[in-house]
Chain A
Amino acid sequence: MSMADEPLYPIAVLIDELKNDDIQLRLNSIRRLSTIARALGEERTRKELIPFLSENNDDDDEVLLAMAEELGVFIPYVGGIEYANILLPPLETLCTVEETCVRDKAVESLCRIGSQMKESHLVDSFAPLVKRLAGGEWFTARVSACGLFHIAYPSASETLKAELRSVFSQLCQDDMPMVRRAAATNLGKFAATVEPAHLKSDIMQIFQDLTQDDQDSVRLLAVEGCAALGKLLEPQDCIAHILPVIVNFSQDKSWRVRYMVANQLYELCEAVGPEPTKTDLVPAYVRLLRDNEAEVRIAAAGKVTKFSRILSPELAIQHILPCVKELSSDSSQHVRSALASVIMGMAPVLGKEATIEQLLPIFLSLLKDEFPDVRLNIISKLDQVNQVIGIDLLSQSLLPAIVELAEDRHWRVRLAIIEYIPLLASQLGVGFFDDKLGALCMQWLQDKVYSIRDAAANNLKRLAEEFGPDWAMQHIVPQVLDMIKNPHYLYRMTVLRAISLLAPVMGSEITCSKLLPVVVSASKDRVPNIKFNVAKVLQSLVPIVDHPVVEKSIKPCLVELAEDPDVDVRYFANQALQSIDQVMMSS
């Protein structure tokens, strides 16, 4: 305790810690940078700590990453917004290191600080920093610069703005593809801050150049920016400048470019308005739906519903629906799967008649698909179609599909269908459920895979919630309780699990009269695992049942288990007893 008397120099502590060989210790001390700053006080943080950090950044990337992150939230420790510019130099150096994560984090922190800075500081410190980085000798600095323009630009003077625009345009023509990619990635963000007049001239020129880059990777990112840029422009400008580019791209020889278009097309329709959508973008989209490359079709198929929503029903029926038909028998299961996950949403768009006539056959064929994912995707969106045509038309085909999925040899598929059972139950109604699905739900309780049994127990609870305790009392509880006689202890354990889940839904009375006796009798089981699970379940039942029941049934049972020869059983029994005591004390 002599420590407290010695004078303590926070900077010295940090310097000492950062010299340690153990990287974990260095990381820890960087993570506690704010402590050191607070101990130093604002002024000395500005004068000593920050300069120290600016000079000492020759550490492992992991440490630098932590430093970049900490500095992003350091404004309060240097004395608030007034002094925020003090933080720029160390981050500037971090923007030039090799490791991408560190640079990205430094840029993120700079943006965070920049967005809080005073205007005069932005002009005097931030903008020069951006220019310095943009002129950096090594490309890492220039890559980082690309992500900072949108912060520096808004508060700049006219001349400075012009300069920033030209610097950005230079970055877009940089010799290194890495820089051009970074510029293309950030073009949308930057464009959002640029005035409309310059948007049309400067930014569009930059965009045009990027879309014609030698490197596919750059062009690809330019396409990605298309939609963002389109939204900034007036519709007529968008039609004049963006539309031709995107239509061209939709026929690019590189499938990756076409894939990007397929992902972006929908948003572009919003930007250009209905008429050009009809004349130019629908044909382009139809082409993509029929693309040679499965990846492109997957992307396009996933947008079918979104796209149909912005079209008139006639257009959708005339142009999109025929493609949908083709896609439903596509050779790639992933295309069919993507289609199946969205196709149900088309029903409200097309209206009842077209849905029954045209869409229903497609649903049905997808519901019989050989690939389980496709079937699952259809089933998962069943509520959407129910709203339009009612479930009756589907239920005939639905049942075989569900039964087959319920018995699929891959447990993940079985798990997925169990998750949808409550949804199905609510859509199909009690009658249908009792007839067809009730048996399945019980069958899953005896699955070979634990996850399925667990999900099955959970499913019972959700069904009880859906249909109410009375229904559950009739259709679930007796069957479940009957399974406690199963010779295999794992299945008996599933029953206990189901009881603990069902009890809160069923309420105190049924729990006391039906469930509790079964649990108590299970405490006599010969397998210790059952016994300590009984202890756990009993503990969970305490809040549900009345106090006398606890005293009369639960406690004696637990006391007995607490004397069990097995150490684990004793442990959990004691745990339960302790928690009961706590509850009693507090009440």
Chain B
Amino acid sequence: MIKQILNKVSRKQSKFSKNQEPLDAQNPNLTCSGSKRSDLTGGNSRKLSSSDISAPLNPRFNPNDTNSRKGGHVSVSYESLPSFRDVPSSEKQNLFIKKVIMCSVNFDFTDPTKNLKEKEIKRQTLLELVDFVASNNVKFTESVIHEFVKMVSANLFRELTPQPRDCKILQSYDLEEEEPSMDLSWPHLQIVYELLLRFIASPEADAKIAKKFIDHYFVLKLLDLFDSEDPREREYLKTILHRVYGKFMVHRPFIRKTINNIFYRFVLETEKHNGIAELLEILGSIVNGFALPLKEEHKLFLSRALIPLHKPKSLMMYHQQLSYCITQFVEKDCKLADMVIRGLLKYWPVTNSSKEIMFLGELEEVLEATQQPQFHRCMVPLFKQIARCLNSLHFQVAERALFFWNNDHIESLIRQNRKVILPIIFPALERNGRYHWNQAVHSLTLNVRKIFFDLDPELFNECLLNFQEEEAKEEKIQSRRESTWKHLEEIAADKASSNEAVLVN
């Protein structure tokens, strides 16, 4: 992708420089950038103050512009600056800053006919910047970084717009798949993201200086953008955040904490977020790098943020990445298997079969890395759940559970603990053998049944006997329960009336 852009850059640039008007030394940005500069000058103290709120970030949010939404345009001259190769080396640094400042101006992309010329100029300028940063010629001094981060912030940190509601309703009530919405300003955004990525990756950019500007507020805003509906944007964000995490050691705890907060909000409050998969992908690689023994903080992260992520309805969207993170943990420290398995059981889906299949898949991977002692601790509740899965009317669920016996590691765990496990799952096997509608499930069940029988015929027959006894008693237990409650009701009524009698006396 980068190559593509560069090709385009050079092609466009040559065309561009041919058509170039004679240079004039004026700075076209002075007029328009002055008012826009006030927003981020707060430096590190980035708590929003009311002056921040009233000072608009960029023309798009400029209230005056807002008012004239039907006819507004950027009313300043927006001319392109000379190309880098047309100025002496000593001037290049200055020109870089000027171009950066120039790119801090945003244009309204909702109206494709507006500011066409200016949009193209900005696009070209951004591409030149990408090229220049790539050439490693920039000295990223404090002031350069300051302007650069300001420009990036002005471009990227916008409130994400909801999907336009128009024209969806009439066309289709039954349209299930929603197209991901594409950000209209992507032609600019993409290059800004590319620039930011190159800046972070550039060895010229010293993390010690840059961290003053790539600060907590910047990281927070970057993380907010993960909710973007545009998959292209999230892809860039993923790469960039990963690099930021790698480069800025000081921010690591903050980034992890903020991601946790996003997860908590997603699981406990909104259940809506577009970037969970991307965030988990970053975390997957972070978890991969955790040193052993695992810190308590990281274990808490597993139990309080990752495991609850199994709950939301939209698990399908990020299950693969989540499952990767979880198995990473278990592979690093097999003592965690017990906690993970109990966690899965806690969030086990009740009615959603496709989710259940995902759970079974993940469970198999976790069990794969589980050792005897941990298995021992959770096998009772685990196999109660598996028994329920075996009896699922959804044949894929039942089948997926039966496939566990094809896994050598799991099969051997089961075999060693058969004295506990078989009594739990025996009724399920028996019922499947008798009633299950699906042929494949039926034969797989018989297979498993046979494995147990061959393994330990004595135990098997004992379970069979038990099962038959229980079955015979079932009705009796039911009626006993009913009569117990009835009796309780009577006692309660008695007490109440005697109480009243006491009161009357």
Contacts and interface: CB of A to CB of B under 8 A. Distances in A.
Interface of A: 3-4, 8, 10, 13, 17, 21, 25, 32, 35-39, 41, 60, 98, 100, 138-139, 176-178, 181, 212-217, 219, 244-245, 248-249, 251-256, 287, 290-295, 331-334, 371, 410
Interface stretch (B159-167, B194-202, B433-441): B159-167
A41 B269 contact: no
Interface string B466-490: 0000000000000011011101110
Contact of B53 (A13, A38, A252): A252
A4 to B, nearest CB: 6
21 contacts: A3-B480, A3-B483, A8-B488, A25-B481, A32-B488, A35-B488, A35-B492, A36-B492, A176-B264, A178-B264, A214-B47, A216-B159, A251-B53, A251-B56, A252-B53, A253-B57, A254-B159, A287-B66, A290-B66, A290-B69, A294-B166
Given A8-B487, A216-B159, A255-B159, 5 more contacts: A38-B491, A212-B48, A217-B265, A251-B54, A253-B158
Contacts of B188: none
Q: How large is the interface on B (under 10, 10 to 19, 20 to 34, 35 or more residues)?
A: 35 or more
Interface centre among B60, B167, B170 (most CB of A within 10 A): B170
B308 interface: yes
Nearest to A245: B50
B66 A212 contact: no
A518 B213 CA distance: 86
Contact of A214 (B220, B304, B384): B220
Contacts of A291: 66, 69
Contacts, number: 120
A248 B261 contact: no
Contacts of A244: 50
B67 interface: yes
B224 interface: yes
Given A35-B492, A36-B488, A251-B63, A292 B69 contact: yes
Interface in B32-86: 46-50, 53-54, 56-57, 60-61, 63, 66-67, 69
A32 B265 CA distance: 34
Interface string B210-253: 00000001001000100000000000000000000000000000
Contact of B161 (A60, A215, A255): A255
B316 interface: no
Contacts of B224: 216
Nearest to B264: A178
6 nearest interchain CB pairs? A38-B492, A253-B61, A39-B491, A254-B159, A39-B492, A251-B63
Nearest to B347: A61
A178 B170 CA distance: 38
Contacts of A3: 480, 483-484, 487
B495 interface: yes
Contacts of B170: 371, 410
A293 to B, nearest CB: 7
Nearest to A10: B488
B49 A287 contact: no
Main secondary structure of the interface of A (DSSP, over half): helix
A10 B220 CA distance: 55
A139 B308 CA distance: 15
B501 to A, nearest CB: 14
Contacts of A100: 268-269
Contacts of A138: 304
Interface string B264-279: 1100110000000000
B53 A253 contact: yes
Given A216-B224, A290-B69, A292-B69, A13 B484 contact: yes
A194 B86 CA distance: 68
B268 A178 contact: yes
Contact of A21 (B67, B165, B261, B384): B384
Contact of A212 (B49, B165, B485): B49
A215 B217 CA distance: 10
A536 to B, nearest CB: 32
Nearest to A252: B53
Contacts of B308: 98
A249 B52 CA distance: 11
Nearest to B261: A177
Given A35-B489, A38-B495, A249 B47 contact: no
B495 A39 contact: yes
A13 B308 CA distance: 33
Contact of A334 (B165, B217, B261, B488): B165
A249 B255 CA distance: 28
A256 B159 CA distance: 8
Contacts of A294: 164-166
B496 interface: yes
Contacts of B480: 3
Interface centre among A3, A216, A292 (most CB of B within 10 A): A292
B340 to A, nearest CB: 16
A281 B110 CA distance: 28
Nearest to B350: A23
Contacts of B60: 292
A311 to B, nearest CB: 20
Contacts of A178: 261, 264-265, 268-269
A39 to B, nearest CB: 4
Contacts of B484: 3, 8, 13
B50 A290 contact: no
Contacts of A139: 264
A26 B426 CA distance: 23
A212 B492 contact: no
Nearest to A248: B53
Nearest to A6: B487
A364 to B, nearest CB: 22
Interface in B19-35: none
A295 B488 contact: no
A290 B67 contact: yes
Nearest to A253: B61
Nearest to B348: A60
A181 B261 CA distance: 12
A36 B56 CA distance: 63
B311 to A, nearest CB: 9
B50 A248 contact: yes
Contacts of A213: 48
Contacts of A219: 48
Nearest to B300: A138
B166 A333 contact: yes
A214 B48 contact: yes
Contacts of A177: 261, 265
A185 to B, nearest CB: 11
Nearest to A219: B48
Nearest to A12: B484
Nearest to A23: B350
B166 A41 contact: no
B27 to A, nearest CB: 26
Contacts of B495: 38-39, 41
Contacts of A249: 53
Contacts of A254: 159
Nearest to B498: A41
A515 B165 CA distance: 49
Contacts of A35: 485, 488-489, 492
A576 B495 CA distance: 47
Contact of A38 (B47, B158, B268, B496): B496
A333 B171 CA distance: 13
Nearest to B257: A175
Interface in B388-419: none
B220 to A, nearest CB: 6
A4 B269 contact: no
A295 B67 contact: no
A311 B397 CA distance: 64
A97 B361 CA distance: 28
Contacts of A25: 481
A38 B488 CA distance: 9
Given A3-B484, A214-B47, A214-B220, A253 B166 contact: no
Given A212-B50, A287-B63, A334-B165, A4 B159 contact: no
